[in-house]
């Protein structure tokens, strides 16, 4: 296992570094200390040709001006919170309104816009940490958030999250990498095959907020068999991962043979086929109409505003933990 480090620029006077983990098989995963961003996952196709299978930018400046949270860590609460507010134990908390009247991805200074510190480097793993201050984004309590990236010689990348707040606060973390297993962002991911062990999804309103209704996949016209082009191609929906399954997700690109299998302990995944990225200037060229697919494993979106959803509230002094594992493989 090898670890490489290089300085790639600075953000608000702080140096930004890129760390690259490489295993014995040659799989490489690169992480920026800015935003905790996964900037590259280099893997071979069935011919042995290497390509970056996540969307990325050519430079740090691209990420600093990014509107799409490409590759970034998201929080303190991922997704949208309706009307940029929530109530808890008789108190109302007003949050940053950074998407119309709503709150998105932690507000104006979310985890994706911070420079993280390196807490620990060991063989095959990197732990980054970043503080969130009391009142930041409108959230109560200070909390130090940690993410550990671990690459194994079995071609498994594991993201392990840890946070302990000093006041009761919602926490719901995810990673916002967009996969394109062809390695070419000018090609659509609609030829990829996506499989979810899910039977239900959350109905959304016109602002992409949960209505509170849980529906069967068939009612939304979703079927996860065959290419995405045979499904609904414009997807930006939360799917519930069933308790009695292993909460497994798989994405396969028949053209290259590349495949990623995702296992998580989280109860939901937001599937987004990147319809809003068309024309963006990415590393490798301009984005196609559906250049990448984000698979954001997390708790229920807008959960603080829905008493019947699984809670994302974390009590003062308690641990928030979450884990998602990505297994990379090539099929003939």
Q: Which residues are catalytic?
A: 176, 296
Task: Using alpha carbons, list the distances in angstroms from residue 277 to 82, 122, 137, 286.
Answer: 23, 36, 26, 9
Other C-beta atoms closer than 10 Å to the C-beta of 158 total 17
Q: Which of 38, 61, 11, 59 is nearest to 176 (CA)?
A: 38
**Which residues does residue 269 pair with via DSSP β-bridges, in sequence order?**
239, 297
Judged on CB neighbours under 10 Å (0-12, 13-18, 19+), 145 is buried
Is 45 annotated as ligand-binding?
Answer: no
Question: Whole-angstrom Cα distance, residue 72 to residue 60?
Answer: 13
d(CA 39, CA 30): 5
DSSP bridge partners of 161: 147, 322
Query: Do 205 and 211 touch, CB atoms closer than 8 A?
Result: yes
Between CA 317 and CA 332 the distance in angstroms is 49
Residue 178 is labelled as binding a ligand:
yes
Is 236 annotated as ligand-binding?
Answer: yes
How many other CB atoms sit within 10 Å of the CB of residue 199?
14
Binding site annotation covers 265?
A: no
Q: Characterise 212 by phi-psi region: left (phi > 0), alpha (psi -120 to 50), beta (else).
A: left
Helix (H, G, I), strand (E, B) or coil at 276: helix
Q: Would you list which residues are annotated within the binding site for beta-D-galactose?
A: 176-178, 236
Q: Would you list which residues are annotated within the binding site?
A: 176-178, 236
């Amino acid at each position: 296992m090898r670890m490489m480090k290089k300085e790639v620029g600075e953000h608000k006077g702080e140096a930004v570094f890129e760390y690259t983990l490489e295993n014995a098989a040659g799989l490489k995963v690169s992480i920026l200390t800015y935003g905790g961003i996964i900037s590259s996952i280099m893997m071979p196709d069935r011919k042995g040709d290497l390509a970056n299978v996540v969307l990325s930018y050519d430079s740090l400046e691209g990420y600093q001006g990014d509107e799409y949270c490409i590759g970034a860590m998201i929080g303190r609460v991922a997704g949208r919170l309706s009307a940029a507010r929530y109530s808890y134990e008789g108190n109302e908390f007003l949050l940053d309104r950074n998407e119309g009247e709503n709150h998105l991805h932690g507000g104006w200074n979310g985890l994706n816009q911070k420079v993280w510190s390196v807490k620990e480097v060991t063989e095959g793993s990197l732990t980054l940490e970043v503080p969130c201050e009391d009142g930041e984004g409108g959230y109560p309590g200070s909390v130090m958030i940690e993410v550990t990236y671990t690459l194994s010689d079995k071609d498994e990348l594991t993201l392990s999250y840890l946070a302990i707040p000093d006041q009761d606060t919602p926490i719901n973390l995810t990673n916002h990498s967009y996969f394109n297993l062809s390695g070419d962002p000018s090609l659509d991911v609609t030829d990829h095959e996506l499989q979810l062990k899910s039977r239900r999804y959350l109905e959304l309103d016109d602002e992409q907020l949960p209505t509170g209704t849980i529906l069967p996949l068939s009612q939304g016209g979703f079927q996860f068999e065959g290419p995405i082009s045979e499904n609904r191609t414009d997807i930006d929906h939360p799917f519930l991962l069933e308790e009695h399954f292993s909460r497994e997700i798989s994405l396969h690109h028949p053209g290259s043979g590349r495949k990623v299998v995702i296992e998580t302990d989280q109860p939901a995944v937001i599937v987004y086929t990147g319809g809003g990225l068309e024309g963006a200037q990415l590393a490798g060229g301009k984005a196609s109409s559906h250049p990448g697919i984000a698979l954001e494993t997390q708790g229920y979106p807008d959960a603080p505003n829905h008493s019947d959803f699984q809670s994302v509230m974390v009590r003062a002094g308690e641990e928030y933990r979450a884990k998602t594992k990505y297994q990379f493989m090539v099929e003939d």
